[in-house]
Amino acid sequence: VRFPEDLEDDNTTFNPEYSHQVFGDDEVAFGYKGLKILLYYIAGNLSTLFRIQYTSKVNEKFDCVEADDVESKIREIVPPGFCTNTDDFVSLLEKEVNFKPFGMLLHTYSIHNEEAGEDIIYQIYKADMTCPGFREYHERLQTFLMWFIETASFIDVDDERWNYFLVFEKYNKDGATLFATVGYMTVYNYYVYPDKTRPRVSQMLILPPFQGEGHGAQLLETVHRYYMSSPTVLDITAEDPSENFVKLRDFVLVKLCQDLLCFSPGKLMQGFSQEMVMEAQQKLKINKQHTRRVYEILRLRATDMGDAEQSRSYRLDVKRRLIGPYKKKQRELAKMRRCLRPEELTNQLNQIDLNMQHEQLEESFQQLVSDYRRVLERLAQA
């Protein structure tokens, strides 16, 4: 909500992707007809209005069953201090002009908006719990995780090893410049013996109205650049990354790596090298596993897949990496031969069918090439 009229505007409304973390695996609120759970957030500081509407509700006295206590379920994730009255909320909206982003400005960028016919300015900030008002703001911000990340959980904000990166949009209202929350990322700094840290991306969310505009890539690249400048950072990882995050990371890391000398077309065609691993880690804080994916994507770009020899060479190179888990199974099988009874061994052998392995390998390769091509297409447009 930026303007009072947004309260009645369906265009500014978005629905949750998940509600099982609040309403159970069936995602059902029992006992209501026409139930609407309404959560409004002021665009900048995320002050909240919470309302429930329904046309009818079962009654314990007459229907002998009790309706779910929807309000208490919502109260478990929405911090205290929210409004239940529209007038109170609108009066808070008038004070929004005083809201300013928290922490240190890291990056400013603009994206052209076709609808508005102009470039819109966005800024990325790094904040921590010492910023006045940030703790309360973060409590409101993290409520979105429950609706948009499948296995979300709230973090321990008293642990000083957390870093917070926030994206804001700058917009005008009655001649004043205001800020709207676009999304954020939390990063945990793990200790690596003897004197390094390994930042690990924990949660990342771009709010639905802003998705598909390139903010995720801007945020991830900014965070990478922030840590790249630190001599104590070993490399940057992510905790249990989703498929979408892996695709985003592929794009950002390839964009960062493509100008490194070790990734020149001539060197790519010679195969994956220790030089690539060293340079990507030292200059860009990228670990070996991610560097290997970057190499495969850039080598695909340098390969003429219409040339039988180049295509075969690329396919074998990628499949040698993909076959790793299957080779591990073969080693396990060799151990089994020595210690399993014949009938147990037959059972295990049935699970490791070689033809099936080759099919799975080819399928994995084709899927990978398809994902890599999408990264290269996006790179060509960037």
Distance, in Å, from the CA atom of 362 to the CA atom of 83, rounded to the nearest integer, reads 56
How much of the chain is helix, strand and coil, in % rounded to 5? Answer: 50, 20, 30
Predicted TM-score (pTM) of the model is 0.90
pLDDT at 42 exceeding the cut of 60? yes
Own/partner pairs for 368-374, CB < 8 Å, 24+ apart?
Answer: 368/296, 368/318, 368/322, 369/300, 369/318, 371/247, 371/250, 372/250, 372/296, 372/297, 372/300, 373/300, 374/247
Give the whole-number percent of the chain exceeding pLDDT 90.
81
d(CA 249, CA 243): 10
pLDDT at 114: 85
Q: Are 291 and 276 in contact (CB under 8 A)?
A: yes
Question: Active site includes 279?
Answer: no
Tell me the per-residue pLDDT of 312-363, one tens digit each, with 9 for 90 and over.
999 999 999 998 766 666 666 666 666 666 666 566 555 556 666 778 889 9
Domains of the chain as residue ranges with CATH: 4-96 (3.90.360.10), 266-381 (1.10.10.390)
User: Is residue 311 over pLDDT 70?
Assistant: yes
The residues pairing with 186 across neighbouring beta strands, listed in sequence order, are: 164, 203
Task: Spot the catalytic one: 60, 239, 332, 344.
Answer: 239
CA distances from 103 to 96, 127, 163, 300 (A): 18, 4, 11, 41
Residue listed under structure tokens 């089994």 = 336
97-102, long-range: CB within 8 Å, 24+ apart, which pairs?
97/173, 97/176, 97/178, 99/44, 99/45, 99/178, 99/179, 100/179, 101/125, 101/127, 101/166, 101/168, 101/179, 102/127, 102/131, 102/133, 102/134, 102/137, 102/166
Query: What integer pLDDT is reported at residue 349 of this predicted model?
Result: 54
129 Cβ partners below 8 Å, 6+ apart? 135, 138, 157, 158, 160, 162
CA–CA distance, 215 with 78 (Å, rounded to integer): 25
71-95 pLDDT tens trace: 999 999 999 999 999 999 999 999 9
Q: What is the pLDDT of residues 186-234, one digit of tens each?
A: 999 999 999 999 999 999 999 999 999 999 999 999 999 999 999 999 9
Residue 278 CA to residue 286 CA, distance in Å, equals 9
Q: Which two tokens stand for residue 353?
A: 């069918």
Under 8 Å between Cβ of 122 and 169:
yes
121 touches 150 (CB < 8 A): no
Q: Which two tokens stand for residue 65?
A: 């069953």
pLDDT in tens, 270-290: 999 999 999 999 999 999 999
Residue 113, pLDDT above cutoff 90: no
Parallel/antiparallel/unpaired status of strands 196-206 and 237-238: parallel
